[in-house]
């Protein structure tokens, strides 16, 4: 929620502020940040993934990351509470 609120607030800034959202490994993000190709990054090392145990979760049946999320949760261990199920992305 904090990230989406931050991105929404960026609309209030004058022209010249551009945002590009991309996904990469933590190592790649750090390297890109170090050389100055990007100004800011949001990273999650998943060290505190256990904090998500018991939290409501939206399971999208056609989600391309569904299997990866399940595997990560098994390894940590994290128990997600599937409160919502949907075939739709929106």
Q: What is the DSSP letter of 49?
A: G
Q: Are residues 37 and 56 in the same domain?
A: no
Q: Using 50 as the pLDDT threshold, list the residues of the chain that sit under it.
A: none
| Enclosing domain of residue 50 | 45-90
What phi and psi, each to the nearest 5 degrees, are found at residue 34?
A: -65, -35
Q: Are residues 52 and 71 in the same domain?
A: yes
Helix (H, G, I), strand (E, B) or coil at 14: coil
Distance CA 74, CA 61 (A): 18
Q: Are residues 35 and 62 in the same domain?
A: no
Q: Would you state the pLDDT for residue 31?
A: 92
Q: Are residues 53 and 35 in the same domain?
A: no
Q: Are residues 14 and 49 in the same domain?
A: no
| Total tally of structural domains belonging to the chain | 2
- What tokens were used for 77? 């261990």
Could you read off the pLDDT of 8-18 as tens digits, one per residue?
A: 888 887 777 77
Q: Would you state the pLDDT for residue 35?
A: 95
Q: Are residues 52 and 32 in the same domain?
A: no
Helices (runs of H) and strands (runs of E) counted in the chain: 3, 2
């Amino acid at each position: 929620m904090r990230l989406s609120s931050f991105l929404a607030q960026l609309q209030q800034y004058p022209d010249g502020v551009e945002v590009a959202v991309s996904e990469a490994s933590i190592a790649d993000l750090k390297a890109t940040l170090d050389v100055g190709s990007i100004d800011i990054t949001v990273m999650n090392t998943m060290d505190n993934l256990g904090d998500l145990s018991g939290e409501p979760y939206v399971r999208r049946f056609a989600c391309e990351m569904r299997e990866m999320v399940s595997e990560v949760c098994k390894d940590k261990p994290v128990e997600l509470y599937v409160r919502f199920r949907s075939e739709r992305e929106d």
